[in-house]
Amino acid sequence: MANRHLARSIVLQTLYEWDFRKLLPEFAQGLLKRNIVEFAPGLTDSDFLDELLSHILSKKSDLDKIIEKAAPDWPLDKISTIDRNVLRLGLFELLFADKAEVPAKVAINEAIELAKTFGGENSGKFVNGVLGSIYKEIGEPGKEAAPRKKRMDVPFEKMPIQNLVGAVVYAKDKKDIYLALVHDIFGHWTLSKGKLIPDEDVKVGAVRKIKEEIDADITLKDELGKNEYVASDPELGKIRKQVHYFLAEAPYKPLKLEKTGGLDDVRWFRLADILELNFYEDILPIVTKAINLLLKK
């Protein structure tokens, strides 16, 4: 498989959902197949993902015991679900993967990147600390090896661009203002968004996509600007995703989440209650701008 980082992300997502829902091991492969279809539909070689997931689950008991010894101040059930499964994935590759394919430092660095992307503010440091201590205990294999040449990445300005559209959806009920937020399986509350159809007007696309994803009939009120981030595509490699966000009003009525592999909940939150929610950092400026506009209305 060309993009191992994407593969690890999909396996991590599967482990998270399997663990969060407390499913039996035999259900994990079904989750993986669904997630491959959802997040890497062009994937042709799924052997790496199948084997990685199977091996992690088969050695879960041993991996958990090692994690508990390496982090004695953190009982396993007190470690966040995402961090716990990043550690399982990273520890398996550190101890059991073919070192010719996955050197020890690569296993640790990949786990740290996954923790930074999908975990909380301190997840990267926590995972680095646990795996780093285990790395020292096993004699720091590969420490003296010459660094491998990095693959030449496509320059940022030459990356393909994918256009998406999304909205901060709000509703008014009596004296309260509510925001409609979706929850992903990595534990973050975020904004409803999706791909534009080729040649589709961004405003038309926003109304369509919000209706499809959360069953809200929105009226666009203000433009909130664009948010851009780099993602990995199984066929295109690194791509720039540009999301055009709007502030949109909807009736205050029950929401219905479209069934996808990446989201597991949608709710209305009072404006005063969203401060404690776990947002992605790049979403916060969009949400903040929307709140400022709402408070002026």
Query: DSSP states of 198-231 as a string?
Result: TT--HHHHHHHHHHHHH----EEEEEEEEEEEEE
275 vs 171, more confident:
171
> What is the SS3 assignment for 292?
helix
Provide the token pair at 112: 């740290």
Q: Quick count: other Cβ atoms within 10 Å of Cβ 24?
A: 7
pLDDT at 60: 94
- pLDDT for 179-217, tens place per residue? 999 987 667 899 999 999 989 999 999 999 999 999 999
Q: How many Cβ atoms are within 10 Å of 34's Cβ, its own excluded?
A: 14
CATH 3.40.50.300, domain 4-137, yes or no: no
Average pLDDT of the chain to the nearest whole number: 88
pLDDT in tens, 111-164: 999 999 999 889 999 999 999 989 887 877 777 655 444 444 678 888 889 999
Query: Which pLDDT does position 1 carry in this prediction?
Result: 38
Report the distance separating Cα 67 and Cα 91, nearest Å.
8
| Percent share of the chain, pLDDT over 70 | 90
**Per-domain residue ranges for the chain?**
4-137, 158-296
Beta-carbon count within 10 A of 115 CB? 26
Q: What is the pLDDT of residue 155?
A: 84
Question: Residue 119: which of 93, 94, 90, 159 has the closest Cα?
Answer: 90
Q: How far apart are CA 279 and CA 211, in angstroms?
A: 22
The three-class DSSP label of residue 83 is helix
Contact 290, 170 (CB under 8 A): yes
According to the model, what pLDDT value does residue 150 have? 46
Range ranked top by mean pLDDT from 149-163, 165-179, 232-246: 165-179
pLDDT at 17 over 90: yes
> What is the model's pLDDT at position 127?
95
Its CATH class, for the domain covering 158-296, is: alpha beta
pLDDT of residue 35: 87
